[in-house]
A and B are shown apart, each in its own frame.
Chain A
Amino acid sequence: MSRTIAIEPVTRIEGHARITLQLNDEGRVDDARFHLTQFRGFEKFCEGRPYREMPALTARTCGICPVSHLLTSAKACDELLSVKIPPAAEKLRRVMNLAQLVQSHALSFFHLSSPDLLLGWDSDPARRNIFGVMTENPAMAKDGIRLRQIGQSIIEMLGGKKVHPNWAVPGGIAQPLSEETRDAMRKLLPEGLVIAKRTYAFYKKLIPQFAKEAETFGNFPTMFLSLVNAKGNLEHYDGWIRIKDAKGDIVEDMVPTDEYPRIIGEAVEPFSYMKFPYYKPHGYPRGIYRVGPLARLNNCNSCGTPFADVALAEFRTLQESQPVASSFHYHYARLVEIIYALESMDRLLRDPDIMATRIRARARSNRDEGIGIAEAPRGLLIHHYRIDDDGLMTWMNLIIATGHNNLAMNQGVKQVAQEYVDGSKLQEGMLNRVEAVIRCFDPCLSCASHAFGQMPIHVELRNAEGHLVDQLKRG
């Protein structure tokens, strides 16, 4: 008898989602789906608003990565103004983007995923959260909280607020940097780097324990899409699009960001509010690709900073001669990127250019279409705007980083479910693994992180007639 298992809500992710597992007569998983259950509607209700509101307005999409929306939107608006923003503004925007990378990756690794990694997938769900980590390994929990604080503090020093700073504006940024703020930011970085390196070394030792997870957690060949800079190195703020296939061959390179509609198509499915972007020339769903830390590290030639490049070389030993395919290694990639971000911020903050007081190019709208693209912590983020002659939005398209990974997340959920879930007798640990594969991608489904693993979970197993045959409650 075929049955469906629903895991709702999926915990320790950002936003609201549900996973359904379709079981066949033998109780094995036939199909699995990852549903985004919330509807936001930003693209619609931004219509008719002045484009200058967009950076702050679209930043409200999210409380974890508002900086990504703020900056990407500001970049789209820079295009509407047809200006080249002053160098100080560009460099400081980069600093804020990297600070957000640190805080967001720290949140994903320490707060959301480390409970699984440290306490085990089958451990007691009541303890399997950041508080459990605090008991088990207080030094690590402290490190995580401190690292996130460092990222958040730099955002606050630059933008006045940790969450939703209205600091990036069309044409640049709102305030110049003071020497005092610069020094305060620089003071935080060495401690951050010590924590990042310590965590990286710790995780590297832990990796052999997770051989089976690495084998089965979203481990399949896909393409990888990310930005690279002019040298083909790691890039988060600007640059060109590169796509590599599963073998590591470059499929597309140095694609200017305004050509994204040529390579990225968008499909929709009735079971989710999330789009299914795909690589257009390969069609849907064959054009599956992944974005985010794993894709960025697979795609770049090098990081361009000393410690991160050592870590990158070690990351590449996870899989011989081709891109790292297992989504489990998103965690690893995140730790490498934290090191890179801290090193890069230090480099940027030593640059005398950032002290310039010319931080904003002033103009009115000079074009009716603008595209902004940047790397959010979770991958490529695209803001595409059209405005009328009066500067009011007539059309908007947002492709969110998490969306690019939608096909891969669905495939990953299926892979893990088929490996671990036995429908004849449900066990909480089985379902937690299904959730854990989603956590590898660190999806950002809405605007805020919810309770750390404290959300109640209620899984029901119903037969084809809809009768309850088994259930599991958590929380």
Chain B
Amino acid sequence: MIQTPTPNVRVVTFKIDDRDFSAREDETIIQVAWENGIRVPSLCYLEGLSVWGACRLCVVEIVGSPRLVSSCSTRVAEGMEIRTDSERLQAYRRMILELLFSERNHVCSVCVSNGHCELQNLAQQCGMDHVRVPYRNKVYQVDSSHDLFRVDHNRCVLCSRCIRVCDEIEGAHTWDSKGRGIDTQVITDLNRPWGESDSCTGCGKCVQVCPTGALVQQGTSVGEMHKDRKFLPYLSRMRDAQ
């Protein structure tokens, strides 16, 4: 669901990385952190779309609680003490990234999104310099049947941004997922080739929100896919106003 600020909510005070903050109690930790320049890593979260909480990269520590919480799906609370960058968190984030890289075939050097990829940036940001688990090397197909776009499942991290933007902003719900667990795959319509989809409007929002080189524009060569998401906050506000 798109988060709508509601009137008359309380303002709470709390700490992030030993700095004092106050915010509305309906705001999430990641929102406050990002607004204040604290760059908690995240992959599935995108401002303007509903919260999914799947990638777990945005996990943070709450003092007094043994378990980690995802900052995109946890609201701030009075007296909360949040830590966003401990060694433990860094180790978890690196492991999550290593698992993501090992699951599919993310070969950055020959990817159209090379140099403009959120997964690649996160790996650099989190200091992931190698992968300690074996690569699965599973073969995934490329669906290039659409005139304007193509999907390369080898690069997909199952963040579901494409599914959410198509459903919540465009209203077409062309994208969905099939399978379970590690074998989950995003699909168009009822698993038909994208080019044969009846519901796809060809708007390209899914391509722009995709964090990697999984959804890209046709005609792009290596390193040429730049994504532009400026439309999203605007559209999401307009949808909200209706």
- Chain A residues close to B by CB (< 8 Å): 48-50, 52-53, 55-57, 60, 164, 166, 169-170, 174, 362, 364, 390-392
Contacts and interface: CB of A to CB of B under 8 A. Distances in A.
B188 to A, nearest CB: 14
Given A53-B110, A56-B109, A48 B221 contact: no
Contact of B142 (A57, A169, A392): A392
B142 A174 contact: no
B144 A50 contact: yes
B219 A60 contact: no
Given A50-B150, A60-B110, A164-B109, A55 B222 contact: yes
A147 to B, nearest CB: 28
Interface of B: 109-110, 112, 114, 139, 141-145, 150, 152, 195, 218-224
Nearest to A57: B110
A169 B224 CA distance: 10
A166 B112 CA distance: 10
B221 A169 contact: yes
Contacts of B109: 56, 60, 164
B142 A48 contact: yes
A49 B141 CA distance: 8
Nearest to A56: B222
A48 B224 contact: no
A166 B222 contact: yes
B219 A53 contact: no
Contacts of A169: 221, 224
19 contacts: A48-B139, A50-B142, A50-B152, A52-B112, A52-B219, A52-B220, A53-B110, A53-B221, A60-B109, A60-B110, A166-B114, A166-B223, A174-B221, A174-B224, A390-B144, A390-B150, A391-B144, A391-B218, A392-B144
A86 B113 CA distance: 26
Nearest to B111: A53
Nearest to B139: A48
| Among B142, B150, B222: residue with most chain A CB under 10 A | B222
A391 B109 CA distance: 20
Given A50-B150, A60-B109, A60-B110, A55 B221 contact: yes
Contact of A362 (B152, B195, B219, B222): B219
The 4 residue pairs across chains A and B that have the minimum distance between CB atoms: A56-B222, A390-B144, A169-B221, A57-B110
Nearest to A170: B221
B223 A56 contact: yes
Nearest to A49: B142
B219 to A, nearest CB: 7
Nearest to A160: B223
A52 B142 contact: no
Contact of B221 (A49, A166, A390): A166
